[in-house]
Chains A and B, each alone.
Chain A
């Protein structure tokens, strides 16, 4: 990544803890560290993939950026403004430029509103388009996402999952956002429909110059759509790099295991593949292991991993990793 590209979003030391309360007095007994010191930058016009297994904090990261949740600590700088600090009018005006599409196309659309109202609601709230022209704008947006504007008076239940996801997309584009956070937009869809939606997202990005943060657990789809990919584990980013080196030169043991767990739809490849199986389950984010988060499942863990938390460092230009065994100039040996 060259330095002259414009940074549109900068996330620094972002933390989001959910308090655990117990007893009659709702005493604060601990925290679920959903997002724990996350750092990354997003460049204008790119797609940054955010992957990890369920409970790794990828969705919370997205939601904290857009301030559905208030951050516990850290900064989210969107074009010189710290999203975690601004208020009122300023927040409203900034938030317009950052939109979100959600995972569940069944739950994210109000079943009592027709498509026209769903898509024109943001226009109404921000009053960006005069009332008389709203219908036209909704038609335009529906065209853009490949839906027939004639269906505008219909209700969400009359549409299939893929079509609903298109409606959600039209709504998020209504205010001409610059950054769109896509939170697992395709995981609820069938395989043949997934490709349709991904192609649409890519076409819109080109047409409107959008920047995406693409959150998903499907590493092969994330790799396809993203320019750079961040891998999260238990609230932290363990590795961040461009899509090419993520596959060709993964450094973190978790990334390697994750890559090897993903099946390839080709029996010849599968037959000859060496699989790295990691044992056990994800530890609870309320009670993460001491030292490196991954030490309970890591096949390479050494003494140091149980005592110190590894620093998140730039190992190669543009390639970040948090592992004691990965230092600049020394890749992990032993297994690939």
Chain B
């Protein structure tokens, strides 16, 4: 179901406009996120795909205002949550956005829970802060939440410490914590990368089910194009800090227009196909984000590159129906496909 992104502004739940985040480091200025703009609709699942260092996590942390300042800074842009710019909010006001309106789960369920507090305590903390529950109410609600995410004997396990949970259970507990206050948006930053595939499948199913139940929007950040294909409606592909292609999941996988997206897809072996003799790899490596050259960042690795790509940064242009791509040679990519 292609969802056009060119809706009128007031219709989207979260709008990111020209978001630019940089870090001052000893090596120089790191251009982590460059001019990223997109729109997240209500109830939608948006996949954000890219390799390590492409800025997908930093962009999410920027939305949540969790970037350490300094060395980081959000140079420009707006993050509009139902029209309200989060970047203008005070730290105090943000405390009522995080958890209550936008919640986040992280890659490593081992380190994102506090090891010296019980799992129940950590979930109850949010309930007391945002929903002003008393101890007994919070405890009951916590048991319900743990049961909702599929933890057996939830009422007894409220008092367990994180080390008594397995990796998959910890990620379930994190999801329970994130959803405890019915956020409008759940940002999941590589939530299944540290888990085994059978556990990953369980977590994906869980998030899909909860999304249907609670009607929230999900931003699912991952490097795994497979997971996104099965759960997202729309996909953003990022490379070297920039958004290079965005569109409905079917367009991105079926009518790919950016050479990088195309390269990623063809470098993956697929279980359901007759084996190819050779994988088509993308040669070279992603650029250093410290000294970004002008022009297209993918220039040096691109099979389609022409002289123009070297000097002129391609602009994200709409092709049709919410499918946009930042490539000067998109016509040639289309013909070749």
Contact = CB atoms under 8 A, between A and B. Distances in A.
Chains A and B belong together in one complex? yes
A243 B250 contact: no
B69 interface: no
Nearest to B231: A270
B279 A270 contact: no
Contact of A264 (B169, B264, B272, B281): B272
Contacts of A265: 225-226, 228-229, 253, 265, 268, 270
A260 to B, nearest CB: 8
Interface residues of A, number: 44
Given A191-B264, A199-B281, A220-B268, A282 B254 contact: no
A247 interface: yes
Interface string B280-298: 1111011000000000000
Contact of B285 (A162, A198, A223, A275): A162
Interface in A170-193: 190-193
Interface string B177-206: 000000000000000000011111110110
Given A267-B250, A275-B201, A220 B267 contact: no
B36 to A, nearest CB: 20
B218 to A, nearest CB: 16
A224 interface: yes
A259 B271 contact: yes
Given A192-B51, A263-B227, A270-B230, A53 B198 contact: yes
Nearest to A269: B272
Nearest to A203: B278
Contact of A263 (B168, B229, B285): B229
B114 interface: no
A268 B1 CA distance: 12
Q: Most chain-B CB neighbours within 10 Å: which of A262, A266, A270? A: A266
A217 B197 CA distance: 8
Q: Most chain-A CB neighbours within 10 Å: which of B51, B201, B202, B224? A: B201
B337 interface: no
B196 A264 contact: no
B223 interface: yes
B276 interface: yes
A321 B141 CA distance: 46
User: Chain B interface: which size bin?
Assistant: 35 or more
Contacts of B249: 267
Nearest to B224: A263
Contact of A199 (B199, B225, B275, B279): B279
A223 B269 contact: yes
Given A53-B196, A261-B200, A282-B196, A190 B271 contact: no
B82 interface: no
Given A192-B282, A220-B269, A263-B224, A268 B198 contact: no
Contact of B275 (A162, A195, A224, A277): A224
Contacts of B52: 190
A224 B276 CA distance: 7
Interface string B18-50: 000000000000000000000000000000000
Interface string B239-275: 0000000000110011000000001110111111001
Nearest to B227: A263
Give the interface SS of chain A, mostly helix, strand, loop or mixed: helix
A258 interface: yes
A190 B268 contact: no
Nearest to B200: A261
B166 interface: yes
Given A54-B196, A196-B281, A281-B199, A267 B267 contact: no
A91 interface: no
A257 interface: yes
B168 to A, nearest CB: 6
Given A53-B196, A202-B278, A258-B198, A191 B285 contact: no
B48 to A, nearest CB: 14
Nearest to B260: A192
B294 to A, nearest CB: 23
A243 B277 CA distance: 13
Nearest to A279: B202
A160 B283 CA distance: 14
A208 B281 CA distance: 22
A46 B55 CA distance: 40
Nearest to A281: B166
A7 interface: no
B271 A266 contact: no
Contacts of B199: 281
B202 A277 contact: yes
A221 B224 CA distance: 13
A263 B196 contact: no
Given A263-B224, A267-B253, 14 more contacts: A190-B52, A193-B285, A217-B196, A221-B269, A224-B269, A258-B198, A261-B198, A265-B268, A267-B230, A267-B249, A268-B250, A270-B230, A277-B202, A278-B198
**The 7 nearest A-B residue pairs measured at CB:** A263-B226, A224-B269, A195-B281, A195-B267, A270-B230, A261-B201, A53-B196
26 contacts: A190-B286, A191-B268, A194-B267, A198-B279, A199-B281, A202-B278, A217-B197, A220-B268, A220-B271, A223-B269, A224-B279, A257-B198, A258-B198, A261-B197, A261-B198, A263-B201, A263-B227, A264-B271, A265-B253, A265-B265, A267-B254, A269-B272, A275-B201, A281-B166, A281-B169, A281-B199
